[in-house]
Structure 1
Amino acid sequence: VIPQMRKRRAGTIINVTSSVTLGPIPLAAAYTASKAAIEGFTGSLALELGFFGVQAKLVEPGYGPSTQFASNGAERIAGLIPPEYEDFAAPIMSGFGEQGLITTPEDVADTVYRAVLDTSGRLRFPAGADAVALAQAH
């Protein structure tokens, strides 16, 4: 789609990453690194495509316990905590179920919509109360 957007000199690319890029959390190093890579890519892409009138932006959702992603993630990490990390990981894992602020699918959809319509040149858009709180803390 980029060649077509460049030709039209218009368009917006939205990459969805994660609020893990807004502040470090334990037991998520590889996940955070993968999301940080997308953030770096998108930041550079925004600069490159801006010359052509095309925007690239980031939406950074927080923890969404009601999504399929949350349940899939729990299944994937089951049994992957090495014995040396069990005492460290136990309170962290149980704390995931006790989140106060969360992100809903509607939060993400609303934030994508706002990002597409935004004309300020802003790159990052946290989505959900928890992501917004993290962004404001850093």
Structure 2
Amino acid sequence: MKTALITGCSSGYGLEIARHFHAQGWTVIATMRKPREDVLPRSDRLRVLPLDVTAPASIADAVEAAGPIDVLVNNAGIGVVGAFEATPMAHVRKVFETNTFGVMAMTQAVIPQMRERRSGVIVNVTSSVTLAPMPLAAAYTASKQAIEGFTGSLAHELAEFGVRTKLVEPGYAPTTRFAANTDIPVMDLIPETYADYAGPIFAAFANPPMTTKESDVAEAVWMAANDTTARLRYPAGADAVALASNA
């Protein structure tokens, strides 16, 4: 029986990914900053562990408690929407600490065991903004673009040891509360000089022509985790697939 450790499972993509892997018969280690067992099915194949991907000690504890990991899904992330000039650099760094350095730290923590077994998959969840950068999300886009390059390079580096790295690129999913997953209110990052520009963009966010379902992302992660080919990228959702085809 294979084991998947998934980060950011309290809601959104991570929660649906954990449910999907569990439904397929895998052992699931669902991690969250503040563990909530009520959101997941009770099962001897499912464990909820505390994990803060920005804290080295928390990472070490979670990886040790999880035991042998066949698949790591780096899903935890935070969003920020607003004009870049109004975004405090402290918050930009916070976004990178979770979305970029947190992914790198988790990856570094599991590589030794996967390399020694000459088996394992690391799936990094980025975003369709890496396919078509959107306005008012410069810091977020940069944090996700960094993981695209990181994962592509690592794919070459780890192939020698039988370890695969994959990218899942979700489209826009209103249900993931992207703009709410931040400690700075969106409107605080929209100066008056940007108001006329931002209005139509927010209106488009509220009524997009295509969206991504959480199940789309779970299925894409499942496909990536089980694909033994050298394929690197897996767009998830109709909007992301459309962007990828035009890239």
Indicate yes or no: 2:177 matched with 1:65: no
Select the structure with the greater relative contact order (CA < 8 A; seq sep ≥ 6).
Answer: 1
Instruction: Please report the TM-score for the alignment, with normalisation by the length of structure 1.
Output: 0.93
SS in structure 1 of the partner of residue 181 of structure 2: helix
* Root mean square deviation, CA, Å: 1.4
SS in structure 1 of the partner of residue 114 of structure 2: helix
Indicate yes or no: 2:135 matched with 1:42: no
Kindly indicate which of the two structures has a greater share of residues assigned to helix.
1
CA contact (8 A) 2:128 2:171 kept: yes
Which 4+ stretches in 1 moved above 4 angstroms?
Answer: none
Task: State the shift of 1:71 in Å.
Answer: 4.0
Q: How many residues align?
A: 137
**For residues 26-37 of structure 1, what are the structure 2 equivalents within 5 Å?**
26-37=135-146
SS in structure 1 of the partner of residue 134 of structure 2: coil
Q: Which runs of 5+ in 1 are unaligned?
A: none
Distance 1:126 1:82 in 2: 33
Task: State the shift of 1:134 in Å.
Answer: 0.5
CA displacement 1:6-53 (0-9 Å, x = unmatched): 001010000000000001221111111010011111111111111101
Q: Which runs of 5+ in 2 are unaligned?
A: 1-109
Task: State the shift of 1:90 in Å.
Answer: 0.8
CA contact (8 A) 1:21 1:36 kept: yes
Instruction: Please report the TM-score for the alignment, with normalisation by the length of structure 2.
Output: 0.53
Task: State the identity %.
Answer: 63
Indicate yes or no: 2:231 matched with 1:122: yes
Further displaced range: 24-33 or 90-99: 24-33
CA contact (8 A) 1:61 1:127 kept: yes
